[in-house]
A and B are shown apart, each in its own frame.
Chain A
Amino acid sequence: MLRLKAYHRFRFPSEYYSLVLKAAMDNPIYYARAEYIETDTGNKVSRRATIAGPQNIILGGKTIIASGAIIRGDLRRTGPGHAVVISLGRYCLVGEGCVMRPPYKTYRGNFNYYPMKIGDHVHIGSNTVVEAATIGNHVDIGKNCVIGKFTIIKDCAKIADGTIVPPNTVIPAMSLFAGSPAQFVEDLPESTQEMVEAYTKNYYTRFQPMPTER
Chain B
Amino acid sequence: MPPGVEYYCPCLSSTPHPPPSSLASSLYSFHPLHSLFFCEECDAVRCNRCVMVEVSGYYCPNCLFEVPSASVRAEKNRCARNCFMCPNCQNTLTVVASDPPDNGETRTSPIVLSAVGEPPFFLYCNHCRWDSAEVDMTFEKPTGLAAQLQKFEDSAPEALEFERLKEHFEPFLPAASSALARDIPGVVKYNPLTRSRSGRDRAAAKSEIPDYRARVEAGSSHGLASGSGGEVDVDFMKHLETAGEVASLEQRWVNSWTTSLHANDLKPLRIPLHSKKSKRCPSCRHILIKPEQKAQSVRFKIKLVAANYLPAITVSLPHARAAMEMIKRSSALNKSTSTAVAEEHAAAASGAMIAGKTYPFHLAFTNPLYDPIQVRLHVQRTLTPSSADGKQKAPFAVTLPSSAFPIAAFAEAWEYEDDEDMFGDEGDYDGARGTKDRDGRARPRTVGVLERRANVTVVGGEVVLGKEARGNIKFNMLVTYTYRSDDPEPENDDPTATPSKRGTQDKQPQMKTFSFYTVVELGNIIRREESKVDMDP
Contact = CB atoms under 8 A, between A and B. Distances in A.
A108 B412 CA distance: 55
A166 B102 contact: no
B410 A195 contact: no
A3 B90 CA distance: 46
Interface in A164-198: 164, 166-170, 172-175, 181, 183-184, 187, 189-193, 195
Contacts of B486: 3, 5
Interface residues of A, number: 56
Nearest to B4: A24
B458 A168 contact: no
A190 B300 contact: yes
A23 B307 CA distance: 15
Nearest to B277: A187
Given A8-B308, A166-B126, A172-B274, A23 B458 contact: yes
A106 B103 contact: yes
A167 B61 CA distance: 15
A187 B458 CA distance: 33
A20 B312 contact: yes
Interface of B: 34-35, 38, 40-41, 43, 59, 61-64, 89-92, 94, 102-103, 105-106, 108-112, 116, 126-128, 274, 277, 289, 291, 295-298, 300, 303-305, 307-309, 312, 314, 316, 321, 324-325, 328-329, 332-333, 364-366, 368-370, 410, 412, 454-456, 458, 483, 485-487, 492, 512, 514
Contact of B332 (A8, A27, A32): A32
A80 interface: no
Contact of A20 (B109, B112, B314, B483): B314
Interface of A: 1-5, 8-10, 12-13, 15-17, 19-20, 22-24, 27, 29-32, 105-109, 111, 138, 149-150, 154-156, 164, 166-170, 172-175, 181, 183-184, 187, 189-193, 195, 210
B412 A191 contact: no
B64 A170 contact: yes
Contacts, number: 160
Nearest to B59: A172
Given A19-B455, A154-B296, 9 more contacts: A2-B514, A4-B369, A8-B370, A16-B410, A154-B64, A166-B91, A167-B108, A170-B64, A189-B34
Contacts of B308: 4, 8-9, 12
Contacts of B277: 187
Contacts of A190: 289, 291, 300, 303, 305
B298 A191 contact: no
B227 to A, nearest CB: 24
B332 A106 contact: no
Nearest to B306: A191
A195 B34 contact: yes
11 contacts: A1-B512, A2-B512, A4-B369, A12-B305, A12-B308, A29-B328, A108-B112, A169-B91, A173-B296, A190-B303, A191-B303
